[in-house]
Structure formats: C-alpha cells, structure tokens
C-alpha cells in the first residue's frame, strides 16, 4: 500500500495478475469490476503492462503475457536452492523410477516447485509445477505443516479440512496427531488421501539459517509418488537420505553471507 493507505502500482498489478490467473482473460471493464481499480487508472496500468510484455492484449481482452513465461522456468531453475536440489531429485527419480516432486508451503497449500517423471503414470498424475494442493491431503504438505509450530498452525488453519478422497484426514485433532508422528519419524505418507489409488512418501529439506522478510528459512518437501500398490517401503530411507543431502549442501546459505 502507498503511504496514504491507497493501493500502490504494485498492489494494482498484483490484483490484475490474480484476476487474469483466475479468469484466463478479461476486458478492461471486467478487470475494473474484479479488481476495483478505477477505470482510468486501470487503463494506464494495463497499457504499461502490455508495453512491458507482462500482458498481451487481444482485441478488447487482456491475458498474461510472454514475459511471465520467459521468466517462469529460468527464474525457477536459477534459484540457488533449486540448483542444489535438482541433481539430487534426478538421482532419486532414477533410483525409484517414479514421479519425484519438490514443494514448499504457501498458507495451507503445498506449492509444487519441481516435478520429474513421465511415462503413463506420470502423464495421468495431475500435478504440475506451479499448482497448489491442500497440504493436509498430501505427504508433501504434511511434512511442510509438521515443520510449522503448533501456534502458527492454529493461527492459519482453515476452518474446514476439505476431503480429496474418502481417505483424507478432515479432523483437525487427527491431523495434529499425525503431524506429531511426522515430527518424530521425519517422514510422511499419503495413502490415497489426495488421489484414489495413489501413494506418496515425503521428507523435508532445509536451507541454512538466514534472516528473511517473512521470518521463515527455506524449507521444502521432496517426495516419491507412485500407484499405491507399487509404493516401496525402502523408498522412505531413500527420500530421507536425499533430503538430508540437500540440507547438507544448502547449509551455507549464500544469501546470508
């Protein structure tokens, strides 16, 4: 927000990005209705965003522009932590033969940062980089929630834990007990809780300590996902070992120097 409490240009740009992410494309009139930005201000902002290629105008409609897509993959893969983790994720994928994910926590959602794995199972698995899944449904998400304090979880928890399948934990107390077990075991499992017939095993990896604007040190969850009947118990140790190796390699946080 600006000093006087009015939305800044960045606030308004964020509102436009959010609106277009949700709706796909919108006209100027629709953007003003969705975001609440005054029409004249919205027109100036959209014109500038088109000039910078943040947006593309097609007739009277606006959609997300190519500049976002240009930055997306390089920006993700050039992140120092991703560069450390990626070859180790590749090795985990090679050793298990199934889909490997890396995700971070965004509120009570697991945000997918990386995914490795193709084949028939990989093609049918509806996880994509940049997508979010409710954390309580997934092994990735439960590992990330377990790394939060009880006070933080209580402060941010949704009122209702929505189910993905009949196996999803939707009771806060039951989830709390499972998170305590994850903290003790350092490993989490999803046995058909996000997708019927799909299983997952996950562990957390951490960057070295650093002062950050949100008070959090980089923490991710890594996992192996496979058909539930193909999930191998030995993968737990592989996932734990991979997470530990990433943590060791990311210990000297370059942004803290």
Q: What is the CATH number of the domain that holds 51?
A: 1.10.10.10
- Which CATH number goes with the domain that contains 90? 3.30.450.40
One DSSP character per residue, the chain reads --TTSSPPHHHHHHHHHHHHHHHS-EEHHHHHHHH---HHHHHHHHHHHHHTTSEEEETTEEEE-HHHHHHHHHHHHTSHHHHHHHHHHHHHHHHH-SEEEEEEEETTEEEEEEEE--HHHHHH----TT-EEEGGGSHHHHHHHHTS-HHHHHHH--SS---SSTT----HHHHHHHHHHHHHHS-EEEESSSSTTEEEEEEEEEPPP---TTS---EEEEEEEEEGGG--TTHHHHHHHHHHHHHHHT-S-GGG-
Residues 64 and 83 in one domain: no
Same domain for 89 and 30 = no
* The last residue of a domain, from among 69, 94, 116: 69
For 170, the domain range is 79-256
Q: What is the pLDDT of residues 177-231, one digit of tens each?
A: 999 999 999 999 999 999 999 999 999 999 887 766 666 778 999 999 999 999 9
Are the beta carbons of 99 and 127 closer than 8 angstroms? yes
Mean pLDDT of the chain: 90
Q: How many domains does the chain have?
A: 2
pLDDT in tens, 145-190: 999 998 989 999 999 999 999 999 999 999 999 999 999 999 999 9
Q: Considering the entire predicted model, what is its pTM?
A: 0.77
Residue 27 lies in a domain: yes
Whether residues 149 and 96 share a domain: the answer is yes
Residue 84, domain member (yes or no): yes
Q: What is the pLDDT of residue 1?
A: 46
User: Average pLDDT of 127-148?
Assistant: 94
Is residue 3 included in any domain, yes or no? Answer: no
């Amino acid at each position: 927000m600006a000093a006087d409490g009015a939305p800044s240009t960045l606030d308004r740009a964020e509102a436009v990005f959010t609106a277009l992410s949700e709706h796909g494309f919108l006209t100027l009139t629709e953007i003003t209705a969705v975001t609440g930005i005054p029409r004249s201000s919205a027109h100036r902002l959209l014109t500038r965003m088109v000039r910078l290629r943040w947006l593309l105008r097609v007739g009277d409609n606006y959609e997300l522009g190519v500049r976002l897509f240009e930055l997306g993959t390089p920006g993700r893969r050039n992140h120092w932590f991703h560069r450390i983790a990626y070859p180790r994720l590749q090795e985990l994928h090679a050793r298990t033969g199934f889909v490997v994910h890396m995700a971070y926590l965004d509120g009570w959602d697991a945000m997918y940062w990386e995914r490795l794995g193709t084949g028939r199972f990989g093609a049918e698995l509806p996880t994509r980089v940049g997508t979010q899944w409710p954390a309580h449904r997934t092994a990735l998400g439960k590992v990330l929630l377990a790394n939060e304090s009880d006070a933080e979880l209580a402060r941010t928890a949704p009122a209702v834990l929505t189910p993905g399948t009949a196996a999803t934990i939707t009771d806060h107390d039951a989830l709390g007990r499972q998170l305590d077990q994850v903290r003790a075991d350092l490993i989490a499992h999803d046995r058909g809780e996000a997708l019927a017939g799909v299983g997952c095993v996950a562990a957390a990896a951490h960057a070295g300590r650093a002062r950050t604007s949100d008070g959090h040190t980089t923490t991710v969850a890594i996992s192996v996902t496979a058909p539930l009947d193909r999930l191998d118990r030995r993968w737990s140790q592989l996932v734990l070992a991979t997470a530990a190796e990433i943590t060791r390699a990311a210990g000297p946080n370059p942004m803290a120097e």
